[in-house]
Amino acid sequence: MTLNHLGVGQIATVTGVHSRNAERRRMFDLGILPGTIVETVMRSPLGDPVAYRIRDAVVALRHEQAEMIEVQMENGATPAEATP
């Protein structure tokens, strides 16, 4: 599943970053790389962007950025409903 499907309060581990070039670099700079644990903190009123806790900082990502990040939830928990 991708990060945009992770519901508020849910925790997952990054398994891949599909962004390319500068965008990919940026994700790495922000601490998002395979193995990183992420938690969805809150959704903005319109549902985009979404705030995630990443390595002790809260980072806001747009929907199109979050959907490039492949994640896996602990012990096969079910993801929240897909976001628009």
Partner 1 sequence: MSARIETAGAAAATCGACSSSCNTSQLTRLGIKSGGWDYVVALMGNPNTGKSTIFNSLTGLRQHVGNWPGKTVARAEGAFNYNNKKFKMVDLPGTYSLLSTSVDEEVARDFVLFGRPDVTIVVADATRLERNLSLTMQVLEITDRAVVALNLIDEARRNGIEVDERALARDLGVPVVPMSARRGEGVSELLSAVDNVAQGAYPTRPRRIKYRDAKLEAAVAALAAQLESAVGGLPNARWVALRLLEGDESIIRAVRDGTLGELGRSDTAVNLTQLGAS
Q: Is the peptide bond between 49 and the residue preceding it cis, with omega within 30 degrees of 0? A: yes
Q: CB under 8 Å to 6, separation ≥6 — which residues?
A: 12, 38, 40, 52, 71, 73, 79, 80
Least distance to partner 1 from the beta carbon of 17, Å? 15
Does 26 bind partner 1 (CB under 8 A)? Our answer is: yes
Check if the beta carbon of residue 38 is closer than 8 Å to that of residue 12: yes
From 12-20, 28-36, 37-45, 71-79, give the range in contact with partner 1 by CB under 8 A. Answer: 28-36
Judged by DSSP in three states, 48 sits in coil
Least distance to partner 1 from the beta carbon of 53, Å? 11
**Window 44-83: residues binding partner 1 (CB under 8 A):** 54-57
Q: How many residues bind partner 1 (CB under 8 A)?
A: 12
56 bridge partner residues = none
* Contacting positions for partner 1 (CB under 8 A): 21-22, 25-26, 28-31, 54-57
